[in-house]
Amino acid sequence: MNLTEWIGRTETVTDTFTATPYAALAATLDHPAERPQPGTALPPLWHWLYFLPLYRQSEVGADGHAKRGRFLPPVALPRRMWAGSQFSFHSPLRIGDEVTRTSTIANVSEKEGRSGKLVFVKVKHELRRSGEQAVALTEFHDIVYREAIQPGAPESAPTPTQAPADADWERKVVPDDVLLFRYSALTFNGHRIHYDRRYVTEVEGYPGLVVHGPLVATLLLDLLREHLPEAQVARFEFRALRPVFDIHHFYVCGQREADGSIHLWAKDHEGWLTMDARATLQAVDGGAA
Q: How many domains does the chain have?
A: 1
Locate the DSSP E strands across 148-283. 169-173, 233-240, 250-256, 262-268, 273-281
In a domain, 171, yes or no: yes
Q: Write out pLDDT tens, residues 165-193.
A: 889 999 999 999 999 999 999 999 999 99
In a domain, 44, yes or no: yes
The domain of 140 spans 8-281
What is the value of pTM for the model shown? 0.92
Mean pLDDT of 240-250: 96
In a domain, 2, yes or no: no
The CATH number of residue 253's host domain is 3.10.129.10
In a domain, 230, yes or no: yes
Indicate the pLDDT class of residue 269, thresholds 50, 70 and 90. very high
Task: Write down the pLDDT at residue 31.
Answer: 95
Exposed e or buried b per residue across 172-198, where buried means at least 16 C-beta atoms within 10 angstroms of its C-beta: ebebeeebbebbbebbebbbbbbbbee
Q: Write out pLDDT tens, residues 113-156.
A: 776 899 999 999 999 999 899 999 999 999 999 887 765 555 55
Q: Write out pLDDT tens, residues 14-41.
A: 999 999 999 999 999 999 989 999 999 9
In a domain, 289, yes or no: no
Task: Write down the pLDDT at residue 280.
Answer: 97
- Cα separation, 124 vs 96, whole angstroms: 24
In a domain, 286, yes or no: no
- Cα separation, 82 vs 216, whole angstroms: 11
pLDDT above 90 covers a percentage of the chain that reads 73
Indicate the pLDDT class of residue 76, thresholds 50, 70 and 90. confident
In a domain, 218, yes or no: yes
In a domain, 3, yes or no: no
Taking 70 as the threshold, does the pLDDT of residue 157 lie above it?
no
Mean pLDDT of 247-256: 97
Task: Write down the pLDDT at residue 152.
Answer: 55
